[in-house]
Chains A and B, each alone.
Chain A
Amino acid sequence: GDSVTQMEGPVTLSEEACLTINCTYTATGYPSLFWYVQYPGEGLQLLLKATKADDKGSNKGFEATYRKETTSFHLEKGSVQVSDSAVYFCALKGSSWGSARQLTFGSGTQLTVLP
């Protein structure tokens, strides 16, 4: 079945440092890929998405490119802020009938940004 493997955390960075959180996936066909962010005590917020190979999703300075050849969707930001501290989840929706109607999540990466 579909699966998402995410970089182990926690990750601690200083403000203005560069961020990369690795995400790779296993899925048949052509899934859609998502990054969600969860702030303490809250639900999940969509950060960005990509629905086909070579698409780049971007939002709030974060970017991720859908790489089918490497089955990856790594999250990047050039300069992190303290307010970016949160848990980040990589997820996919598959292309089969069932998997297209549910999100399959990675384990999450806790990011802490220090001032």
Chain B
Amino acid sequence: KAGVTQTPRYLIKTRGQQVTLSCSPISGHRSVSWYQQTPGQGLQFLFEYFSETQRNKGNFPGRFSGRQFSNSRSEMNVSTLELGDSALYLCASSVGTGPSPTYETQYFGPGTRLLVL
């Protein structure tokens, strides 16, 4: 099976702009999660989508949003970019329908590296 794919791999934006990142999960996976990785804060959970619905959300401002499509592909959007939004954004997918989500493994894509100038 193909792994999780993310596009684009690299982005350069300026402050105040908005950006959309895309993620295609492993075939058959219905849950998609997003994480932000920065040198200062490490890996932080943004949100999780399942069947086109946001099921869980981390502690990020409303400028960060996402959505999921009927084919389980997901996008995340960051509006009014700030310098501190420069990070590696990682998407992860999992089956999402197992008997216990605690046991499910999340598989990560290569990430999108965003630089805000």
Chain A interface (Cβ < 8 Å from any Cβ of B): 30-32, 34, 36, 42-46, 49, 51, 89, 91, 93-95, 98, 100-108
Contact = CB atoms under 8 A, between A and B. Distances in A.
B90 A100 contact: no
A105 B110 contact: no
B108 A100 contact: no
Contacts of B33: 101-103
B100 to A, nearest CB: 7
Given A43-B90, A43-B110, A51-B102, A102 B48 contact: yes
B13 to A, nearest CB: 20
Contact of A102 (B42, B58, B100): B58
Rank and list the top 8 A-B pairs by shortest CB-CB distance, nearest first: A105-B43, A44-B108, A100-B101, A102-B45, A43-B108, A100-B102, A43-B110, A101-B56
Interface residues of B, number: 26
A89 B108 CA distance: 13
B102 A30 contact: yes
Interface of B: 4, 6, 31, 33, 35, 42-43, 45, 48, 55-56, 58, 90, 92, 100-111
Contacts of A100: 100-102
Contacts of A104: 45
Most chain A CB inside 10 Å of its own CB: which residue of B31, B58, B102, B108: B102
